Amino acid sequence: MPSWPEKRTFIGSHTTRVDGPAKVSGTAKYPSDVQPDGWLYGMILRSKWAKAKITNINLEQALKVPGIKAAVVDRPGERTVRYYGEELAAVAGTSKQACLDALRLIQVEANPLPFVVREDDAKEDSSPRVWDDTPNLSKPRVNEKGEVDKAFGDCSAVVEGFYTTPVQLHHPLETHGNTVSWTDEGLTAWSSTQGIGSVKDGFAGNLKVPQSQVRVITEYMGGGFGSKFGQGAEGSLAARLSKEAKAPVKLFLTRFDESLAVGNRPSSFQKIKLGATADGKLQAFELESYGTAGIGSGGVSEGGGGGAEFPAPYIYTVPNIRVKQSGVNIDAGSARAFRAPGHPTASFGMESIMDELAVKLGVDPLELRLKNDPSEVRRKEYQIGSERFGWKSKYKKPGTSSGPLKTGVGCAGATWGGGGRGTQAEAHINPDGTIEIRCGTQDLGTGTRTLIALIAADLLGLKPEQITVRVGDTQFPPSGGSGGSTTAASVSPAIYDVCTKARTELQSKTGVSLVEADIWFAACKKLGVNPLVVSGEWQEGLSSSGAGGVQFAEVEVDIETGFTRVKKITCVQDGGLIVSKLTCESQVNGGILMGIGYALYEERIMDRLSGVVLNPNFETYKLTGLADAPEIDIVLLDMPERGVIGIGEPVTIPTASAVANAVANALGVRVPSLPITPARVLAALAGKSVTTPSA
Amino acid sequence: MNDPNPEDGLFVSRRSFLKSFGTTAAAAATAQVEVVAQELQKANAERTLGPGAVPLTLRVNGKSLQLELEPRVTLLEALRNHSNQTGAKEVCDRATCGACTVLMDGTPIYSCSKLAIEAQGHEITTIEGLAKDGQLSAVQQAFIEQDGLMCGYCTPGFVMSVTALLRKNPKPTAEQVKHACAGNLCRCGTYPRVMQAVFKAAGLPVASKTEVIPYAKLA
């Protein structure tokens, strides 16, 4: 079984990102920056109806606009559109202005149909059906074990709650899109994607192009968070426009488009009941939930593929449970995987009711968790975190903070699977001593390129700057999509393997022993003219799955304005073998700040009467800003014996729960709905219901 | 962000027109909206441009750029789509995210919300113009060292905002950095390290609370 070297110079070090210089100087070319000769601008016409039968789309006038080179209908013939923003047609032209003019001239004949865009409306039988042959509310997925009713009867403390979470939008800063060149020779796409392999497959399948003629390139990309695994309707449209116009087409969504049609985190409405013994051991749990994944709801996905279900009772083990989860269709864009699908949603409901139970039992919520959390790693993390955070001195009974600025603290834990396998890689050792590592993975900004350079440097006995890392091209040996926090654990072992083999082969081929570092160039010189090319692949024993983490939050809530400020987050996270310390810590920051957005700001709002998304921009859909960033204290538990694990998702899971618990601790009343807006805080203080949507 | 010298532009701006119109109360001006419109039209009559393409000259990173663009084309589009300078990013296209930030005569502006024709006669600096002789600026270097970037799509905008801040205020406080970056959004969550990068570039002490604890050594 292979193992990571005991002596590690660069692995685990504080080395800066290898693509930092390109990113800070504007020379990094993102798919939206690439400009092949003769490229055209592409734009999409979207449905302005929440639901309608489209009978005809006429492109004639649009094609007459000066500069317009091609126009295509998304799906020819009669069709039904099922949400505001569904793709209808697309145009390509020499300027954005030509496209804007052309889109206005496309004539669409449509018969509007009744629609429904709110979960509570949609689940009623009397509401219009999103899909004619299925009720909007799916049959519940049921999970039952033990004797739930009897167990509740035996409990000393029983608490009940109703918790809701919003539809959250991914909003990567680089919108979804591709620059595509499709000629008789084949299709090349510069895609803003998390999975060059799945995009290649998507283009080939959707457009009936042999896979041997499809190449996908993603040198850089501006964020995905789970929403960018396919070529998308926008990719297929760009390709068709390219073929028709006989020119490359760059088609990237507008921010408005981005809010409608390219994924979201499903909402949840969770009715929870939890019972425990007098000394706080969990005995019985009951959950009934529904949520929407838009038009794509209803499928059971275990929270993995964008469905409305989620794990329950999340990280806790309860002997008697009854779980019923449904999805409810509405006329809105489909959900997609979103950073730790299902988990932040699951965590919010469960960790909220845990704190309610602590209140009922009159115990410290941290003690209740230590008593019931089955994970030894997490219990240790709670201990480390509570000391650093100063939990003992900061925790006060709920609502006992004085003055109009109430402070409070809360905590929550998380789990994530991760793992990953199946990556191949190639090392090219050149006679001049330079090295290229080629791997068909992609760097989403998580630091994959840097991770490869650090591993290669350690295993080859060189420095990271001597390694040229090439990723993001389907002509390189294949890897998987970057999702599920699997990239690090999938790529690292392949780099280990290829570098170990390269070193051995270089020695045997040249007869030079590589014990000393300065012998490297002498050895390479002996290769002659051609490089030594070595292949490697993922090996068992160098990575693992499973990651536990806990977070503590301290908040300040102004009970006059209802405004919540997060003052501090302490995060203790299992990091496995930490490969790139700097980028790993950045991931933790990012997860927490996105979690704060989920806790306090983010919510897609649908208009019941018109069926439109009311906040398709950053003025009204709020992201966490720099001024909202709290003090963040990060502790990474180094566990090299576990090998490499992923960290991007687990760190975003418990933030919102910890913040919500801190708000409840500050106020003495709970705001049971995310996001915790000022309006909801004030309503909760006034004893009013706050679980209805914001608008 | 300030709107630098609107009076210097090609057109009579609404503000300067209202100034010349006298110090009438806003309500009175509103009542005479018809007159205002007519006067504006007259003032701009000799300079009506478009809707077709017009020749224009931009000064970008010290070089002159001759373009022929419709008057409705923004500075951001002129840079990205018509002269292949793609450092500034289009993210929201409506002045809410700051990814398109460039300097106009040293002041950070949203290039998505400035027409290219209005940018004539001004010195535009983009992210591509910060490095001198291949040497990254202190701000750029600090962003790398502190890892003030992840996917990097917001980074050019942050670097420009911070560059402008430090030129004006070489030793900013955290509050001043928050204010200067209030117009920039990041989705990956680089903020704590953007803050550190600013302090680093300013030569101020950088506080970072992170620790790696070997699990095996825990009791």
ipTM: 0.96
**Can you give the pLDDT at residue B217?**
84
Residues A574 and A626 in one domain: yes
The token pair at A517 is 């570092």
Residues A662 and A570 in one domain: yes
Spell out the residues 6+ positions from residue A247 whose beta carbon is closer than 8 angstroms to its own: A38, A39, A40, A69, A92, A181
**From 3.40.1160.10, 3.90.1150.10, 3.30.70.100, 1.10.150.120, which CATH number describes the B138-201 domain?**
1.10.150.120
Residues A376 and A518 in one domain: no
| Residue among A171, A255, A638 minimizing CB distance to B215 | A638
**From 3.10.20.30, 3.40.50.620, 3.40.50.300, 3.40.50.2300, which CATH number describes the B54-129 domain?**
3.10.20.30
Q: What does the pLDDT average to over A36-46?
A: 98
CB A178 within 8 A of CB A238: yes
Q: In terms of Cα–Cα distance, which of A178, A176, A219, A179 is closest to A37?
A: A179
Give dist(CA B134, CA A155) in Å, integer.
71
Spell out the residues 6+ positions from residue A609 whose beta carbon is closer than 8 angstroms to its own: none
**Can you give the pLDDT at residue B161?**
98
B211/A590 CB distance under 8 A: no
Give dist(CA A247, CA A268) in Å, integer.
45
Pairing outcome for strands B101-104 and B107-110? antiparallel
> Distance from B71 to chain A by nearest Cα, in Å?
10
Residues A186 and A70 in one domain: yes
Give dist(CA B169, CA B204) in Å, integer.
13
Q: Residue B30's Cα: distance from chain center in Å?
A: 31
In a domain, A460, yes or no: yes
pLDDT grade, residue A691 (50/70/90)?
low
Residues A103 and A238 in one domain: yes
User: Each residue of A396-431: pLDDT tens digit?
Assistant: 999 999 899 999 999 999 999 988 899 999 999 999
Q: Which of B176, B212, B217, B218 to mutate to test the interface with A (most CBs of A within 10 A)?
A: B212
CB A333 within 8 A of CB A606: no
| Residue among B126, B187, B214 minimizing CB distance to A172 | B187
Q: Which amino acid is at B96?
A: T
Would an 8 Å CB–CB cutoff place B177 in contact with chain A? yes
| Residue among A29, A171, A586 minimizing CB distance to B187 | A171
What are the backbone angles phi and psi of residue A29, rounded to the nearest 5°? -100, 110
| Residue among B128, B190, B195 minimizing CB distance to A26 | B128
Q: What does the pLDDT average to over A76-89?
A: 96
In a domain, A690, yes or no: no
Q: What residues make up the domain containing A107?
A: 40-113+176-252
A384/B91 CB distance under 8 A: no
Residues A645 and A577 in one domain: yes
Question: What stretches in chain B show pLDDT beneath 70?
Answer: 1-33, 40, 43-47, 219
> Distance from B183 to chain A by nearest Cα, in Å?
9
Q: Residue A200's Cα: distance from chain center in Å?
A: 21
Give the three-class secondary structure for A572.
strand
User: Each residue of A371-401: pLDDT tens digit?
Assistant: 999 999 999 999 999 999 999 999 999 999 9
User: Each residue of A194-225: pLDDT tens digit?
Assistant: 999 999 999 999 999 999 999 999 999 999 99
Q: What is the dihedral of CA B170, B172, B176, B177, to 10 degrees?
A: 80
Residues A532 and A474 in one domain: yes
In a domain, A469, yes or no: yes
Question: In chain B, whose CA is at the least distance from the CA of A592?
Answer: B189
> Beta-carbon neighbour count of residue A542 at 10 Å?
22
pLDDT grade, residue A307 (50/70/90)?
confident
Place of tokens 């390139």: A217
Pairing outcome for strands A79-81 and A68-73? unpaired
User: Each residue of A563-593: pLDDT tens digit?
Assistant: 999 999 999 999 999 999 999 999 999 999 9
> Beta-carbon neighbour count of residue B82 at 10 Å?
16
Q: What does the pLDDT average to over A607-634?
A: 97
Spell out the residues 6+ positions from residue A181 whose beta carbon is closer than 8 angstroms to its own: A36, A187, A188, A189, A242, A247, A248, A249
Would an 8 Å CB–CB cutoff place A35 in contact with chain B? yes
Give dist(CA B18, CA B7) in Å, integer.
12
The token pair at B27 is 């309500």
Would an 8 Å CB–CB cutoff place A377 in contact with chain B? yes
Characterise A436 by phi-psi region: left (phi > 0), alpha (psi -120 to 50), beta (else).
beta
In a domain, A144, yes or no: no
Would an 8 Å CB–CB cutoff place A602 in contact with chain B? no
Beta-sheet strands, E only, within A329-466: 405-418, 424-429, 435-439
The pTM of the full predicted model, rounded to 2 decimals, is 0.93
Would an 8 Å CB–CB cutoff place A565 in contact with chain B? no
| Residue among B73, B130, B187 minimizing CB distance to A173 | B187
**Can you give the pLDDT at residue A477?**
98
User: Each residue of A271-297: pLDDT tens digit?
Assistant: 999 999 999 999 999 999 999 999 985
Question: In chain A, whose CA is at the least distance from the CA of B81?
Answer: A95
Contacts of A97 in chain B (CB under 8 A): 70, 72-73
What value does the CA radius of gyration of chain A take, rounded to a whole number of Å? 27
CB B152 within 8 A of CB A445: yes
Q: Which of A24, A442, A583, A628 to mutate to test the interface with B (most CBs of B within 10 A)?
A: A24
Would an 8 Å CB–CB cutoff place B145 in contact with chain A? yes
Say whether pLDDT at A472 is over 80: yes
| Residue among B126, B128, B136 minimizing CB distance to A21 | B136
In a domain, A261, yes or no: no
Pairing outcome for strands A141-145 and A320-327? antiparallel
Say whether pLDDT at A554 is over 70: yes
What are the backbone angles phi and psi of residue A514, rounded to the nearest 5°? -95, 30
Interface subset of B 58-117, CB within 8 angstroms of A: 70, 72-73, 77, 80-81, 84-94, 96-97, 99
Residues A551 and A566 in one domain: yes
CA angle in degrees (0–180, nearest 5) for B115-B118-B121: 140
> Distance from B206 to chain A by nearest Cα, in Å?
13
Give dist(CA A358, CA A341) in Å, integer.
27
Question: In chain A, whose CA is at the least distance from the CA of B131?
Answer: A25
> Distance from B44 to chain A by nearest Cα, in Å?
23
CB B110 within 8 A of CB B98: yes
Complete DSSP assignment for A261-293: HS--BPPEEEEEEEEE-TT--EEEEEEEEEE--
DSSP A446: S
Which of A203-217, A360-374, A510-524 is predicted with the least confidence, judged by mean pLDDT? A510-524
Give dist(CA A223, CA B188) in Å, integer.
7
Interface subset of A 42-81, CB within 8 angstroms of B: none
User: Each residue of A116-125: pLDDT tens digit?
Assistant: 999 999 999 9
Say whether pLDDT at A167 is over 80: yes
In a domain, A15, yes or no: no
| Residue among A24, A222, A574 minimizing CB distance to B136 | A24
| Residue among A25, A447, A618 minimizing CB distance to B92 | A618
CB A203 within 8 A of CB A239: yes
**Can you give the pLDDT at residue B39?**
72
CB A498 within 8 A of CB A453: no
**Can you give the pLDDT at residue A482?**
92
**Can you give the pLDDT at residue B218?**
83
Q: Residue A505's Cα: distance from chain center in Å?
A: 40
Q: Is the N-terminal amide bond of A630 cis, ω within 30° of 0? A: no
Q: How many interface pairs between A and B have CB atoms less than 8 angstroms apart?
A: 212
CB A609 within 8 A of CB A115: no
Question: Where do the domains of chain B lie?
Answer: 6-47, 54-129, 138-201
Interface subset of A 142-201, CB within 8 angstroms of B: 171-175
A220/B185 CB distance under 8 A: no
> Distance from B25 to chain A by nearest Cα, in Å?
30
**Can you give the pLDDT at residue B28?**
54
Give the three-class secondary structure for A385.
helix
CATH number at residue A497: 3.30.365.10
Would an 8 Å CB–CB cutoff place B166 in contact with chain A? no
Q: What does the pLDDT average to over A310-318?
A: 96
Q: How many domains in chain A? A: 3
Give the three-class secondary structure for A190.
strand
**Can you give the pLDDT at residue A452?**
98
User: Each residue of B49-65: pLDDT tens digit?
Assistant: 888 999 999 999 999 99
Would an 8 Å CB–CB cutoff place A223 in contact with chain B? yes
Give dist(CA A11, CA A3) in Å, integer.
13
The token pair at B52 is 């077709």
Give dist(CA B29, CA B36) in Å, integer.
8
Spell out the residues 6+ positions from residue A422 whose beta carbon is closer than 8 angstroms to its own: A478, A479, A480, A490, A538
B191/A629 CB distance under 8 A: yes
> Distance from A471 to chain B by nearest Cα, in Å?
14
**Can you give the pLDDT at residue A306?**
52
Angle between helices A196-207 and A232-245 (to 10 degrees): 60
Element (H or E) spanning A365, and its range? Answer: helix A365-372
Would an 8 Å CB–CB cutoff place A636 in contact with chain B? yes
* CA end-to-end distance (rounded Å), chain B: 54
Q: In terms of Cα–Cα distance, which of A201, A225, A220 is closest to A211?
A: A201
Say whether pLDDT at A299 is over 80: no
B93/A19 CB distance under 8 A: no
Contacts of A617 in chain B (CB under 8 A): 92, 94, 96
> Distance from B64 to chain A by nearest Cα, in Å?
19
Give dist(CA B16, CA A382) in Å, integer.
62
Contacts of B189 in chain A (CB under 8 A): 586, 589-594, 624
CB A116 within 8 A of CB A82: no
DSSP A477: P
Q: Which amino acid is at A279?
A: D
The token pair at A623 is 């992201």
Say whether pLDDT at A695 is over 50: no
In a domain, A470, yes or no: yes
In a domain, A286, yes or no: yes
Q: In terms of Cα–Cα distance, which of A588, A582, A602 is closest to A650?
A: A588
A590/B188 CB distance under 8 A: yes
Give dist(CA B176, CA A197) in Å, integer.
45
